[in-house]
Amino acid sequence: MRALWIFLFCFCLLIATSFSAFAENIYWENSQTFWIQEDSNKQIVFEKYQIDKFGYQHLVEKVYKTNKKKFSFLLNTPKKKVSEHINLKDIPLPPSIQNQRIWRAIYSWDEDWEKKYSQWIRTEVSKNFFEKHQISTDCADVPIALRWIFSRMNGLPAGFHLKGTLRLFTHESFLPGWEWLSPNRNWWEDERFLASLDYILQNTYTHSLMHDLYPIAINRNTFDEGTVFLNLYSNTTGHTELVSLVNADEPQPIRILASDVPRKIRELSDYGLQDWGIFPEREKSGFLKFLWLEKKFFSWTNKAATSMPNYSLEQYDSKFYRSYVNLPEAIIGHVFPDWKPDFAKLMKSKTQDLMLRLTNRVSIVEDGYTYCQSINGCKEGSSAYETWSTPSRDAAIKRINDSILRLYYSPECIASCKKELDSLLNIAITRINNKNYYFRKAILIWRDQKYTSDPNDNISIRWGIED
């Protein structure tokens, strides 16, 4: 039986690749090997995957700009188009190896379980959740890992489409060799589960995640903790955020948890809903929730988005934003129609977010510069450059900084509001060349974009105080 499934998988995959490939950032060498182009920290990276005889894909190589010959070849190779005739999500998964599974699903997702998931995010998931459990993350990993963990804890089905092939990897998928790993009642001590979690996180990203989500209506009954904001900037890059708190009593009533690239063990960023300068675009961005899995003909599949609770396209209608200036105002306005901001508390909350991001940047800049100097420079496009450059982090600081300045100079920000910022201006963020670098200086530097994100630049240049 297993041999039949493997034959069917390989046959379907061969047909699919013969019609041409699957996305504009995918290059197929043959029916078993493909490359994915990703933009990480504004650096192009090519990842090579190979599909084993059981149908499971594995990351085998990364190519950076420093590998000039191969990088140039991959960059200039025309990416094959998506076949109009083959839907890779219909290719069946091979059966579990030796009838094993990662965990048994004894319940099914429904609205009650979604409420429990939301409550778990709100009460149990903090910014140090993954750091505590020593789990590496990037931005897309946060909602994926949390959904995988909660499902394992509660005996619920879970699955995600893998990058490139878009095969659905579920709680019943099982790689050869995992049978030798030790199971455990606790998920954080269950070697099989942790291996599956690492596999999932290595083989998914923002673009594959879009296949496991659907757009929702935006109101107080539907918009809760666990909602995902996904923003695909292009065919090769994007960003993912998780709604971690929805509370009208907070100065910023919608708060976000997010990670960043590259994937590593880190404390998550915790901040208020940001203005990305966009409104959602269908199939590219929006506030989304996870599709439920159901079993059909012995295989797991996602339910149709239109059959999911609170499915709606209203956030893609221009009328949804008619009376609002930006995305955060619109979302808060629809979730809490009667909410009125306390501008002093709002300013305090925003400045705390900014102060935390700036202070966290200090060690990253210093450690990155030290490391790059120790290896005679981190070449642009190298893995070291990807690790220590900070364009995404710096862009996030600028968004918060800009929102603070807009608030400060708005008519609603009276003396008590302005005082919240003014009282922090003379706090030192760090010391550079034996001089204090003050909060007020950072605000002006980020306003004028005089900072740099290049880890090879010296500390003064990184903070915008040298040309």
pLDDT in tens, 97-113: 667 899 999 999 999 99
pLDDT in tens, 320-351: 998 898 999 999 999 999 999 999 999 999 99
Q: Is residue 424 part of a domain?
A: yes
Same domain, 358 and 445: yes
Q: Is residue 451 part of a domain?
A: yes
Residue 191 CA from chain centroid, whole number: 24
Same domain, 116 and 82: no
Question: How confident is the model at residue 91, as a pLDDT?
Answer: 54
H or E segment to which residue 366 belongs: helix 343-374
Residue 288 Ramachandran class (φ > 0 left, ψ -120 to 50 alpha, else beta): beta
Question: How confident is the model at residue 79, as a pLDDT?
Answer: 57
Count of structural domains within the chain: 3
Residue type, 51: I
According to DSSP, the β-strands at 228-232 and 213-215 are unpaired
Can you tell me the distance from the alpha carbon of 407 to that of 348, in angstroms, rounded to the nearest whole number? 11
Question: How confident is the model at residue 129, as a pLDDT?
Answer: 97
Same domain, 72 and 182: no
Q: Is residue 467 part of a domain?
A: no
Complete DSSP assignment for 245-292: EE-TTSSSSEEEEE--SSPBS-PPEEEEPP--S----TTTEEEEEEPP
Can you tell me the distance from the alpha carbon of 155 to that of 435, in angstroms, rounded to the nearest whole number? 56
Reported pTM: 0.84
Same domain, 394 and 375: yes
Can you tell me the distance from the alpha carbon of 18 to that of 32, in angstroms, rounded to the nearest whole number? 12
Q: Is residue 56 part of a domain?
A: yes
Residue 48 structural domain: 2-90
Same domain, 209 and 325: yes
Question: How confident is the model at residue 85, as a pLDDT?
Answer: 30
Same domain, 51 and 106: no
Same domain, 348 and 330: no
Same domain, 198 and 59: no
Question: How confident is the model at residue 1, as a pLDDT?
Answer: 47
H or E segment to which residue 239 belongs: strand 238-246
Instruction: Supply 388's token pair.
Output: 């220590």
Residues in a beta bridge with 300: 295
Question: Which of the residues in the chain have pLDDT under 50?
Answer: 1-2, 4-23, 81-87, 90, 92
Instruction: Supply 138's token pair.
Output: 């990037």
Q: Is residue 248 part of a domain?
A: yes
Same domain, 323 and 348: no
Question: How confident is the model at residue 81, as a pLDDT?
Answer: 40
Q: Is residue 53 part of a domain?
A: yes
Among 35, 57, 90, give the residue marking a domain's end. Answer: 90
Same domain, 215 and 328: yes
Question: How confident is the model at residue 4, as a pLDDT?
Answer: 46
Question: How confident is the model at residue 20, as a pLDDT?
Answer: 30
Same domain, 312 and 352: no
Q: Is residue 357 part of a domain?
A: yes
411, 404 Cβ separation under 8 angstroms: no
Question: How confident is the model at residue 94, as a pLDDT?
Answer: 56
Pairs from 69-77 (Cβ < 8 Å, separation ≥ 24): 70/46, 71/44, 71/46, 71/381, 74/27, 74/35, 74/37, 74/46, 75/37, 75/44, 75/46, 77/27
Among 310, 335, 360, give the residue marking a domain's end. Answer: 335
Count helices and strands in the chain by DSSP H and E runs: 14, 16
Question: How confident is the model at residue 185, as a pLDDT?
Answer: 96
Sign of CA dihedral 370, 374, 379, 384: negative
Question: How confident is the model at residue 95, as a pLDDT?
Answer: 52
Among 74, 90, 106, give the residue marking a domain's end. Answer: 90
Same domain, 280 and 429: no
Q: Is residue 142 part of a domain?
A: yes
Instruction: Supply 94's token pair.
Output: 């091979």
